[in-house]
Amino acid sequence: EPATLDEFAYRLTGSADLYEQTGRRPFASINFVTAHDGFTLRDLVSYNEKHNEANGEDNHDGESNNKSWNCGAEGPSDDPAVNTLRAQQQRNFLATLLLSQGVPMLSHGDELGRTQGGNNNVYCQDNDISWIDWATADLDLLEFARSVSALRAAHPVFRRRRFFDGRPVREAGAAGLPDIAWFAPDGSDMTAEDWETGYAKSVAVYLNGQGISDLDNRGQRVVDDSFMLCFNAHYEPIEFALPPAQFAARWIPAISTSANSGRGAVPAGNTVTVDARAVLVLQAESD
């Protein structure tokens, strides 16, 4: 059964459906893509099947349902298109993880492109199968992980202590906008039908920097920039219509997982192209 966008939205915003009713906060949600068991991030985008032959159990050990996709070839590939897509998928996972509400958990070496050669059960492999090979570290991926981590650290809108409620913010400068808003690619508000559509693969979310209901160490209200996060999991590029000027007059690209990331500021109400299987993060231009 295909996952729906509402499931994705809950996880991106700290899993209020799991924690809010029991009085817990977004930081109760430990978010991760990979862990010590299973594929590494690199292997998640490089293998459809486990390859645990080295464990001596005829490949019967380890989980067979890895929810992975090899991007068109099993294991190492010399196909530039396959490798480009794999690199982008890793960036997609890292960006989504690090910009979700809650606590991100990054498996060691995933920021470096660490591989276990498709082995998803390395309990018995205290050797080069499970070790980090520093000589083959993916420095481009590392730099990307650093940039997204820095964005998260610099902006409390990605680290809220309370769940979003979607209600208009009444504070000065907030223009009555909600603390969060969800848009279909055409710029319309997401409907109940949109959320439940299994084939929908694209959505944009507005995070209101004026809508953070937290206080800093001096007892002052936390205020941040606002952001638009555009997610396109479709296999073709998608045009996203940006909201009107009351949300922001102009949007500045902050993070793009696409290799084709060069673009300038985008005025309110215009459209922006998000490449196939890519994430684009836009930051509201400061006055």
Condensed to tens digits (0 to 9), the pLDDT of residues 70-129 reads 999 999 999 999 999 999 999 999 999 999 999 999 999 999 999 999 999 999 999 999
Q: What is the rounded CA–CA span in Å between residue 130 and residue 136?
A: 14
- The per-residue pLDDT of the chain, averaged, comes to 94
- Region 66-73 average pLDDT: 97
| Helices and strands: H and E segment counts in the chain | 6, 10
Which residue's structure tokens are 């694209």? 202
Question: Tokens representing 53?
Answer: 């032959």
pLDDT value of position 280: 98
Angle between helices 80-98 and 139-154 (to 10 degrees): 20
What does the domain layout of the chain look like in residue ranges? Answer: 32-154, 162-284
Q: What is the rounded CA–CA span in Å between residue 85 and residue 73?
A: 11
Q: What is the rounded CA–CA span in Å between residue 200 and residue 238?
A: 12
Q: What is the rounded CA–CA span in Å between residue 190 and residue 245?
A: 19
pLDDT-derived band at 285 (thresholds 50, 70, 90) equals very high
pLDDT-derived band at 173 (thresholds 50, 70, 90) equals low
Question: Tokens representing 101?
Answer: 């509400």
Radius of gyration, CA atoms only, the chain: 20
pLDDT-derived band at 259 (thresholds 50, 70, 90) equals confident
Q: What is the rounded CA–CA span in Å between residue 28 and residue 96?
A: 18
- Is 205 in a helix, a strand, or coil? strand
- Region 25-42 average pLDDT: 97
Which residue's structure tokens are 């606002």? 226
Assess contact for 88 and 19: CB atoms under 8 A. Answer: no
- CATH number corresponding to 162-284: 2.60.40.1180
Residues 6+ apart with CB under 8 A from 245: 268, 269
pLDDT-derived band at 215 (thresholds 50, 70, 90) equals confident
Side chain identity at 223, as an amino acid letter?
V
What are the C-alpha distances in Å from 12 to residues 30, 57, 59, 63, 201? 11, 38, 35, 26, 14
